[in-house]
């Protein structure tokens, strides 16, 4: 009888454990260079300096090597991360940045619409990334359909399926 | 969803007198909407996808035979029979009157395809990767249109992705969307200018004027589907007599 409880108890724990581990294991993003948003903000750079499409296009885009090369042809710090960047710049090899945010391909999203027209802040949708000293390993805000819809409802923006789906 | 009267009612007019059956619209549509080209075997199974196709209608008997060409695409019915049978509301008529298909919502039951009197809803039998597209052609995939997974129905949307951009552009310019803001790919490719597109509700628009022509008819209009694609009948010109 007691043995039966033991087996049941242990199996239950195992199941709970498996569920916890499974749900905790979200895709985490590792960047090739430990880029520091906070330092570059302190250097006086606008977001759109590196994410060039953000004001006028659908995609914000990640910075090409040339953007980093504007300042980083000669080392400015002792940082090993900066040294990595310098090597790539000499070789002319693009930095293989990994995407942190990304919607399913059947969704249409435009930064221009949400910045130029809706006048939203980056923070609302990306969290405090400007203060990040190392690249975030997972999105600060989960971009689910529910999330889009709840703001659209509040702000009176379109709720038509076809407005967002393609 | 009810029709929004403040927005254009998109419609198309196809002048059959001008159509030469050249298939430019068919190619342009496939290119624009990432519709793969099908093989002989797939076509033999009836699995070819072509959101717009040119039907050849043969009339008369030898030696007095005549072939008429008729481009056939989703008629964007204002009373669509297909949306009524969809169990998941994956297909529906949006506030601008366009009949949409929300692919992630579609379960591939094909009720809508069977309810469509025009047979212009296509079931996707293959994953996109089934069509080993040449590398050069992968580069030309349109990022504005998603690749449909296997097992869903797909269809013409009047190039709704172009409307998404047109709506954004109009909003940026602080004005309502106008009749001339966009045309679907088929219309822009037609060398004979047989196809015209615009706001059927706007009395100044070309489509509105042409739709009022005595030559205008809608396909199978007795069914009460209220298509927003209008055809203009061919004149009395006759291939056999030449006049």
Give the range among A6-15, A27-36, B30-39 with minimum mean pLDDT.
A6-15
Q: What one-character DSSP code corresponds to residue A133?
A: S
Number of domains in chain A: 1
pLDDT of residue B31: 93
> Mean pLDDT in each 10-residue stretch from start to end of chain B (243 residues)?
74 95 96 90 92 92 89 97 97 96 97 97 87 76 93 97 96 94 97 96 95 95 96 69 41
Q: Flag whether A70 is in a domain.
A: no
By C-alpha distance, which of B20, B54, B7, B41 is closest to B167? B7
Tokens 């809706």, located at residue: A118
pLDDT of residue A3: 66
| B60 has a chain A CB within 8 A of its CB | no
pLDDT of residue B242: 43
pLDDT of residue B241: 42
Please list every residue in chain B whose beta carbon sits closer than 8 Å to the beta carbon of residue A161: 92, 94, 100, 102, 105
Angle at B199 (CA atoms; ends B198, B205), nearest 5 degrees:
75
Look at A161 and B105 and tell me if their CB atoms are within 8 Å. Answer: yes
Nearest residue, CB atoms, A108 vs list B1, B98, B164: B164
- Mean pLDDT, all residues of chain A: 89
By C-alpha distance, which of B26, B34, B29, B24 is closest to B140? B34
**pLDDT category of residue A134 using cuts at 50, 70 and 90:** very high
Look at A160 and B146 and tell me if their CB atoms are within 8 Å. Answer: no
DSSP for B107-166?
Answer: ----HHHHH-TT---EE--S-GGGS---HHHHTT--TTSPPPPTT-EE---SSHHHHHHH
| B53 has a chain A CB within 8 A of its CB | no
Look at A106 and B164 and tell me if their CB atoms are within 8 Å. Answer: no
pLDDT of residue B52: 97
Q: Flag whether A67 is in a domain.
A: no
Q: Phi-psi bin for B76: left (phi > 0), alpha (psi -120 to 50), beta?
A: left
Looking at chain A, the number of H-run helices and the number of E-run strands are 9, 0
- Rounded to the nearest angstrom, the minimum Cα separation between B242 and chain A is 47
Range of the domain at A34: 29-62+97-163
Look at B145 and A166 and tell me if their CB atoms are within 8 Å. Answer: yes
pLDDT of residue B60: 87
Nearest residue, CB atoms, B146 vs list A105, A113, A117: A105
Q: Flag whether A1 is in a domain.
A: no
**pLDDT per residue as tens digits for the range A75-115:** 888 999 999 999 999 999 999 999 999 999 999 999 999 99
pLDDT of residue B136: 78
Closest-CA residue in chain B for A160?
B94
Backbone angles phi, psi at B53, to 5 degrees: -140, 155
CA separation for the pair B170, A148 (Å, rounded): 22
Write a three-state SS string for B182-234: CCCHHHHHCCCCCEEEEECCCCCCHHHHHHCCCCEECCCHHHCCCCCEEEECC
CA separation for the pair B148, B162 (Å, rounded): 18
**pLDDT category of residue A16 using cuts at 50, 70 and 90:** low
CA separation for the pair B6, B229 (Å, rounded): 21
Look at B160 and A166 and tell me if their CB atoms are within 8 Å. Answer: yes
CA separation for the pair A47, A50 (Å, rounded): 6
**pLDDT category of residue A148 using cuts at 50, 70 and 90:** very high
Name all domains of chain B by residue range, CATH numbers in brackets. 10-232 (3.30.70.20)
pTM comes to: 0.91
Mean pLDDT of A122-139: 95
| B4 has a chain A CB within 8 A of its CB | no
Q: Flag whether A11 is in a domain.
A: no
Query: What percent of chain A has a predicted confidence (pLDDT) above 70?
Result: 84
């Amino acid at each position: 009888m007691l043995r039966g409880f033991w087996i049941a108890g242990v199996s239950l724990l195992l199941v709970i454990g498996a569920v916890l581990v499974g749900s905790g294991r979200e895709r985490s993003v590792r960047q090739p260079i430990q880029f520091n948003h906070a330092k570059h903000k302190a250097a006086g750079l606008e977001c759109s300096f590196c994410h060039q499409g953000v004001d006028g296009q659908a995609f914000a885009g990640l910075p090409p090597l040339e953007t980093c090369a504007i300042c980083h042809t000669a080392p400015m710090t002792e940082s090993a991360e900066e040294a990595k960047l310098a090597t790539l710049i000499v070789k002319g090899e693009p930095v293989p940045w990994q995407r942190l945010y990304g919607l399913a391909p059947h969704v249409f999203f435009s930064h221009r619409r949400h910045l130029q027209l809706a006048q939203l802040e980056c923070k609302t949708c990306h969290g405090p990334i400007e203060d990040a000293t190392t690249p975030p390993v997972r999105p600060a805000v989960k971009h689910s359909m529910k999330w889009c819809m709840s703001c659209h409802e509040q702000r009176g923006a379109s709720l038509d399926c076809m407005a967002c789906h393609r | 969803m009810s029709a929004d009267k403040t927005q254009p009612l998109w419609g198309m007019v196809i002048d059959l007198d001008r159509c030469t059956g050249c298939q430019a619209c068919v190619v342009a549509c496939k290119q624009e909407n990432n519709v793969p080209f099908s093989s002989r075997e797939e076509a033999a199974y009836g699995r070819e996808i072509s959101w717009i196709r040119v039907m050849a209608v043969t009339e008369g008997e030898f030696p007095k035979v005549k072939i008429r060409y008729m481009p056939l695409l989703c008629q964007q019915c204002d009373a669509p029979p297909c949306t009524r049978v969809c169990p998941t509301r994956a297909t529906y008529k949006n506030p601008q009157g366009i009949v949409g298909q929300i692919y992630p919502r579609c379960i591939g039951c094909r009720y809508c395809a069977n309810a469509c009197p025009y047979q212009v809803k296509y079931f996707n039998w293959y994953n996109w990767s089934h069509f080993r597209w040449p590398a050069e052609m992968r580069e030309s995939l349109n990022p504005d249109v998603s690749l449909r997974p296997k097992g869903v129905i797909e269809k013409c949307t009047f190039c709704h992705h172009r409307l998404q951009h047109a709506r954004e552009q109009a909003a940026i310019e602080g004005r309502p969307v106008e009749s001339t803001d966009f045309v679907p790919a088929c219309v822009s490719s037609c060398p004979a200018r047989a196809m015209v597109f615009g706001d059927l509700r706007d009395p100044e628009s070309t489509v509105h004027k042409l739709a009022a022509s005595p030559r205008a008819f809608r396909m199978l209009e007795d069914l009460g589907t209220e298509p927003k694609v209008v055809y203009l009948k061919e004149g009395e010109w006759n291939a056999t007599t030449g006049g």
